[in-house]
Structures are given as C-alpha cells and as structure tokens.
Chain A
Amino acid sequence: MSGDDHHPPLLHADRSVRATRVLAIRQLLIDKGVVTAAEVDDVVARSRARTPADGAKVVARAWTDDAFRGRLLSDARAAVGELDYRLSHDAELAVVENTAEVHHLVVCTLCSCYPTSLLGPPPDWYKSFAYRQRAVIEPRAVLREFGLELPAAMGLSVVDSTADVRYLVLPRRPSGTEGMSQDDLAGLVTRDSMIGVAEAASP
C-alpha cells in the first residue's frame, strides 16, 4: 500500500482511536476487494436518509387506524410498505406493542442492531457496553435513569435483537390526544419512545 497517496491519512490528531480503527478497516476491505467505497457510502447514505420522524409517522398511523395496527404487529414489513417505506432485505422488522399491562424495551446485547430503516442511525448510548449489559439484567433501574418509573403492576419485556430481526416499540397513545391529527400525533412520538426507554410525549 506504500505510495497510495490518494488515501486520506489514517492518523490524524483530531480523530479518535475508534474512528481511526473504522477508517483502517474500511480501507482494508476496499483494498482487498470485499466491498467498494461506493457500497460503503450507499449503506451510510441509506441509514442517514431516515430519522425518527419516519418511525413516528408509522406509530401515529397505528394509533389512528386499528386495522393498520393489527397488520403492523403481524407483518411489519408489509404494513410499513403501505406508507411507502421499502425496507432493505438485510434485516427483518418486527413491532412490539406497549399496553397497560406490559412495557417493552429494546436492546442488542451482541452488537448494536437497531431499526435504522425506520429510525436512522442509533444514538451513541444504545451502542455503549453499559446500556447493552444493564438493559437485560437491571432494566427497571435503566428505565429509572432515563426518567421512566414503571408502575409496580406493569410487566416488563426486554427484547434482545440478537439476530436478523430489528425491533420497533409501538408506544402507548398518550391520554388527552383524542381528535388530534396524525401529523400532530406523530410530533409526540420520540425516538426514545420507539426504543422503549421513554413513553410518548404528552400533548
């Protein structure tokens, strides 16, 4: 690789160890012909093309259309397709529903699997070792630190996305939102409420 002066310099004073490592691996994969630079850029661009506002649209539709809600829970890929979200075939999507009886919290203990096709890239804390370890063994304490105290009577279901399925939480519709439009409802659906570390916002 000597003399490859068209590569950006890997070592850079302003770059973290982690960023340097990622760039080095990316360059090795390109040099070895495993992927092309364009393929890497395409994956990054597709991930950044989505934001939590996209997931929020899906949730608001489910809150206002019971038949859609049913389809979303049984076949999420087909249901979001009705809203013109075409998911890639890299991963499957499933939606879990919060109710008065059970709250869901999503984590990926093995890496950082996340429904990027609807929410965009995950927040940094979602990828941290602390969250990935503590969300399974002491989830109620983790929720408390996020400001969510679950009622003692409510069950908790932690969803570990260990393989090919990405999970989105369908939060409970807040009270006092009767008659609100889908657009206004979507404004109450935060990223954190679709991961399960928060409830949807109140109007």
Chain B
Amino acid sequence: MGLGIAEGDRVTVRADEVAHHHRTPWFVKGKSGIVRRVHGAFPNPESRAHGGTGMPERRLCQVEFRQSDLWGREYCGRPDDVLLADIFEQWLEPVRRG
C-alpha cells in the first residue's frame, strides 16, 4: 500500500471514515490526483496523536487535485485551478490505468 508511490503517479485517496486523529481532509477523500512531490518520511500522526511513538515513519506525498474534481460545479474558477495537499502514503492507492 503506497510503498511504490513516486512523483507523477496518479493516485486515489482512500475514502475511509476513521474515528482517530488523522491529517487527511474530508474533501479529498475518494478523489484522485497526481503526486507532485514526495517530501520524505515523517512520524505517523495517527499513532503519535494517541500516545504512540509515530513509528514506523510514513512517507508524505504532495498530491495535486483539480479543484473542479473536488467541488464540481460549485467551484467558480478556472477549470485548471488546482489544490495541493500533503497526504500520508497509507491513504493513497495507485490508479490503475485500463
């Protein structure tokens, strides 16, 4: 899960609803985007926020989403406007091209 993610990959954010602390905003869940940068590995906030060590570290990826994919017709801007968000690898799944 996510181990092979590299810049330029198309990924989908898992749509999971979880009760614990996590850093994945609701509005990107289930949405697809392109990995623009792999920042490196950081302590896992989903462990650290609940008294854990944050280990093992997880890789953090900057993912670019099209605003029109996130908000649909509600979005009043250019069709190529984007949103960049940093998403931990355990939330990302590769999009398989048919």
Contacts and interface: CB of A to CB of B under 8 A. Distances in A.
Interface of A: 92, 94, 96, 109-110, 136-141, 152, 155-165
B86 A158 contact: no
Interface range for B: 20 to 34
A189 to B, nearest CB: 22
With a 10 A CB-CB cut-off, give which of B62, B74, B75 has the most chain A CB atoms: B62
A23 B12 CA distance: 41
B85 A162 contact: yes
A176 B88 CA distance: 43
Contacts of B64: 157
Given A110-B25, A136-B27, A137-B71, A164 B42 contact: yes
Contact of A155 (B25, B81, B84): B81
A136 to B, nearest CB: 6
With a 10 A CB-CB cut-off, give which of B40, B70, B82 has the most chain A CB atoms: B82
Interface of B: 23-25, 27, 37, 39-40, 42, 45, 60, 62, 64, 67, 70-71, 74-78, 80-88
Looking at chain A's contact residues, is the secondary structure mostly helix, strand, loop, or mixed? mixed
Nearest to B77: A140
Contacts of A109: 25, 27
B63 to A, nearest CB: 10
Nearest to A104: B84
A94 B60 CA distance: 13
A136 B24 CA distance: 14
